[in-house]
A and B are shown apart, each in its own frame.
Chain A
Amino acid sequence: MSSPALDLGQAHRAARRRARVPRAPGLPRLISPIVLVLLWQAAGSSGLLPEHLIAAPVKIARTAVDLTEAGTLPDAIIVSLQRVAVGFLIGAVAGVALALAAGLSRLGENAIDPPMQMLRALPFYGLIPLFILWFGIGETPKIALVALGVAFPLYLNTYAGIRAVDGRLVEAGRVLRLGRTALIRHVILPAALPQALVGLRQSLGIAWLALIVAEQVNADAGLGWMINDAREFMRTDVIVVGLVVYSVLGLLTDALVRLIERRALVWRQAFQPA
């Protein structure tokens, strides 16, 4: 460890190596999924697996292309993405703001944390009937459900992160004559960030789930609508395309959070052994 540049190099190399570990075996791990898809295709082509139960892979792929060319799929994706984005934004702002208020002041803690801890036990998909009564069947209940699903994991994790800050570092900050604002900015928030990012990841996962549930209930646009509509006509191929798109979108947002984590927590990666 003679020069800092060398340290960083090692850290980056370590990060890259770690990221590659699950994929490193490569081909051997791909064999069984490929075989399964081939079997599925064979079962479909031979009529063993009727299309009203589930369409064959080739058919699904062709449908995906058709839906894309017709514009149905892109439109649906845009509508669903919008719902998730708006709901996520509202939920994230609320969750983080509440966590900061509860984590950084005694008054906020007493006022906010008890109700939040009670509400977290609520099966929030069970709120759908209420939401429909309150907000009707338009966009609002869907966005509200996503926002609610997002707010809780972000609140719980960010709050826990703030609470778990090492008191010895806070004390060191005091000795360095940091004021309250500087203490929060330089010590407390950075210390809480790793846990808050865990919350972010959980909340994005929940955001997609909440969207799927909300879109099943009543929708006239979006991926959920596309799937429901396909059910009426027993288009299992369209349903599967919808499901695949949901999972790809979920994976993409998860990858985004991982990227943010890697950027924001470099100081921690430098520490993990290669």
Chain B
Amino acid sequence: MAASLPTRVTGSVETRAAATARVASVRGLTRVFGDRTVIDGLDIDIERGEFVALLGRSGSGKSTLLRALAGLDRDATGNLTVDGTVAVAFQEPRLLPWKRVIDNVALGLDRPRAEARQALEEVGLGGLATAWPLTLSGGEAQRASLARALVREPDLLLLDEPFSALDALTRITMHRLVLDLWTRHGRKEEDAAGRGGLSVLLVTHDVDEALRLADRVLVLGEGRIAYETRVDAPRPRSAGDLIGLRTDLLEQLGVNEEDR
């Protein structure tokens, strides 16, 4: 089920074999605001089951790219194919304040609420199912937002700096949670459908976060993927494993030796 998103596609949409290895494939994506070209002929492929981190300085177009992938940007041009369903967790949790946590998670599902409850259990919020969103802490709200995305069993999970507003301790917990969920949902999908499972594209401006979590780290610069590296160290990773990569990435982001 190749879902070509409501993007103005200039090229032709490829006909694809079923259960391809790629969950998303982007060619020549371009997005112009006024006379500024924020995304400039960008190419990305995301493999099934892959965890990709997208780094970039503030204003480099990370959210713009993500919105295009989520099918939220009708004015992006280029070739964009997503094979499967997409779910998004934004930087702000964007829970509907007038719906209890569980109803937020179940929103738009025609399946029973039992699944929403289970998703909440998964992110450790089982006890807060009937709480109002405005009473949640930042980390709790972000976990609820994650549950809301995951309950849809997406093929591709887009995360737009979901941890940047959290305190350092909560962020560490959230990292572990996301890796956990990714592993679990990956395996389940693989057994059932015989394909790679959940892919994650995590947008972040935090190099260490990217290195700790991702299989592959991309750096967005000048509207394209300016740099790309694999991270092969086994998880859980410690900062020590990654010093070389960290230096490379910081360099790519234009952070000088003296700044560090």
Contact = CB atoms under 8 A, between A and B. Distances in A.
B132 A175 contact: no
30 contacts: A1-B135, A1-B137, A4-B130, A4-B131, A7-B131, A11-B132, A168-B90, A172-B88, A172-B90, A172-B96, A175-B70, A175-B72, A176-B107, A177-B152, A178-B108, A186-B96, A186-B99, A191-B98, A193-B98, A266-B132, A267-B97, A267-B132, A267-B133, A267-B134, A268-B134, A270-B134, A270-B135, A271-B97, A271-B134, A271-B135
Interface of A: 1-4, 7-8, 11, 168-169, 171-178, 182, 186-187, 190-191, 193, 266-268, 270-271
Nearest to A183: B108
B92 interface: yes
B228 to A, nearest CB: 27
Contact of A178 (B70, B107, B133, B137): B107
Contact of B108 (A7, A168, A182): A182
B127 interface: yes
Given A169-B96, A268-B97, A7 B72 contact: no
B129 interface: yes
Contacts of B72: 171, 174-175
B108 A4 contact: no
Grouping DSSP codes into helix (H, G, I), strand (E, B) and loop, the B interface class, with mixed when no group exceeds half, is loop
Interface residues on B, range: 20 to 34
Contacts of B129: 4
B26 interface: no
Contacts of A187: 96
A132 B152 CA distance: 61
Interface of B: 70, 72, 86-88, 90, 92, 94, 96-99, 107-108, 127-135, 137, 148, 152
Given A3-B127, A175-B72, A186-B99, A169 B135 contact: no
A7 B134 CA distance: 11
Contacts of B86: 175
A4 B128 contact: yes
Contacts of A268: 97-98, 134
Contacts of B137: 1
Contacts of A173: 107-108
A169 B132 contact: no
Contacts of A176: 107-108, 148, 152
Contacts of A3: 127
Contacts of A182: 108
Contact of B92 (A168, A191, A266): A168
Contacts of B131: 1, 4, 7
A86 B249 CA distance: 70
Contacts of B132: 7, 11, 266-267, 270-271
Contact of B127 (A4, A175, A191): A4
A169 B108 CA distance: 14
